[in-house]
Structure 1
Amino acid sequence: MKFRLLGLTLLSGTLVLGACGDKNNTENDNSSATTENTGNTTEEAPDNSAAGDNPAGGKGHDGYEETQQGYGFKVFDLEIDVDGQDAIDADYKTEEDGTFEADYKNTIQGVDYDNDRNQKEAIDELDKLFKDILLDQQMSEEKVKKNVLRALDVQDYSKFDLEVEFDDGKKMKIEENK
């Protein structure tokens, strides 16, 4: 009788504790919002349901709006040539009204997304690039160049030209011809 009562107590205790579990445990939930360091503050990224079709969050050009957290810069203009031939062109510009324009061309991978026809595809590619390089004003030009080349899987180049205008108006320009 005592073992039966003990077994029932253990079973009911297990059921009660299991029912009390928090399904929305954000510590172990892979679908929870992430944070991104955007310079001086860390902001929480929008959840996927609020992000719309733009992986950067929100909607902007052609129905997409710029995210509240942004990338930390307003302008990103990259040109890389390999063996004297145009290999990669990546352009991103945020307008004052919060919309943006994006172009991405990578002849190495056979990708060409201009801002008129393939805006979503262009921003998808640029979003991956921006999240991979994690560009900020404190990075050295050499570190920026290294991160960009690594992210785009470019080992050798004949021209590297990058212009960035950060949200606060500061600019970074890197030019190198080999």
Structure 2
Amino acid sequence: MKIAVVVGNPKPASRTLRVAESVTDAIEKLLPGEPTERQVIDLADYSSRLFEWPEPTLAELNDAVAASDLLVVASPTYKATYTGLLKAFLDRYPSNGLGGVVAVPVMTGAAADHAMATEVNLRPLLVELGATVPSRGLYLVMTRIAELDAITSDWARANAATLVPALTGRLGVTR
């Protein structure tokens, strides 16, 4: 299973990246024995090139994401939605450019006030790009970062009934 993790936090090696990796770990545990290959794209490392056209490195990253089986997309909440950094990366895809990819939206924030941003803003963007988003996304209030692994494990178990069939169907595996 090819996994792409895309993080749109302007700060490199952010807590949002940590959350995205924990979500990915929890999803991998739902499919024991399934070999995985993970590529982590921390967009903060590419921010100076996002608006260059053409940009070969970003084109390669876009191709790798589009070829993945699972895409975990994470962003901190900025003004009740995802960051411009993430939007600039995803704008490089044409309509249906993520067709066939199973995606999981993840957002972090300072308070629960914007918890619906994951479902109201990030999910529709992924669907517009053709991704299948079979489960609820995860919104993590950063004051709970110490509980991260328990929260992502609980989230994965709660969403396993929709995630596992979507992923195993993509991989051609029957369970």
Query: How high is the TM-score relative to the length of structure 2?
Result: 0.25
- Bigger radius of gyration, 1 or 2? 1
TM-score (ref. length: structure 1): 0.25
User: Which structure has greater strand proportion?
Assistant: 1
